[in-house]
Amino acid sequence: MQPIKRKILYSIVLIIGFAWILVSADKSGVSTSGKIPAPQQGFLAPDFELKTLTGETIKLSDLRGQVVLVNLWATWCPPCRAEMKTIEKIYNEYKDQGLVVLAVNMTYQDDPFAIVPFVKEQGLTFPILLDETGGMAGAYQLRSLPSSYFIGRDGIINEVVIGGPMAEALLRTRIEDILE
């Protein structure tokens, strides 16, 4: 191709590209559909209502205004077991600043008799919720354990961490970011 023709072609490409930027600007100012509940960063955390080990009922949407860490776990999952003590440590450090930890046990695929001994052995003080039907796991499209969701005061998921065990620094940086 002749250099002059190539220069014209390049100029046309850049002009069309510039026009495309103008045309495809998102005038709403919010490109992520924050109001749709979905288990992904930038979306509203799907609501759930579950019973705890002590028989209370906890609904996620009732905790709006607080920073919530939702951790999906099972007793048979080694990385889930490994990260519990770290979560407990961080919970004790930040609970006075408004951190709530909801550890949701995947009871429908766990041994129900193994849960209480494990919680006692680890000395866990945050609420342990029981997903007996798999409804919560379905809403959160669970594919790997552990899965953790860091939810801001507005109910929007700030960060999703799939897999574990989560390092102490990871928990600290994420929680401090949201608490700010």
Partner 1 sequence: MIDAFRSLFAPPRHLILLVAAIWVGLALAEKRAERHGVSKDALNNIAYYSILGYIIGGRLLYALANLSAFSQSPLSLFSLNFDLFDPASALVTALIVGFVYGKQQKLPLWQTLDALTPLFATLAIGLSLTHLAAGTAFGSPTNVAWGMDLWNATRHPTQVYELLASLLTFSLIWFQKSDSPRGVLFLNFLALTAGSRLFLEAFRGDSMLTYGGFRLAQIIAWITLAIALFASESIRQRGKVN
Q: Write out the DSSP string of 96-138.
A: GGTEEEEEEE-GGGS-HHHHHHHHHHHT--S-EEE-SSSHHHH
For residues 46 and 36, what is the distance between their CA atoms, to the nearest angstrom? 9
Q: How many CA atoms lie within 13 A of 166 on its CB side?
A: 30
If the CB atoms of residues 55 and 96 are measured against partner 1, the closer one turns out to be 96
> Which tokens sit at 19?
């026009």
170 binds partner 1 (CB under 8 A): yes
If the CB atoms of residues 38 and 58 are measured against partner 1, the closer one turns out to be 38
If the CB atoms of residues 114 and 162 are measured against partner 1, the closer one turns out to be 162
Decide: 152 and 158 in contact? Cβ < 8 Å.
Answer: yes
Of residues 13-72, which lie at the interface with partner 1 (CB under 8 A)?
13-14, 17-18, 20-33, 36-40, 42-43
120 binds partner 1 (CB under 8 A): no
Name the residues that contact partner 1, by CB under 8 A: 3, 6-7, 10, 13-14, 17-18, 20-33, 36-40, 42-43, 143-144, 159, 161-164, 166-170, 172-173, 176
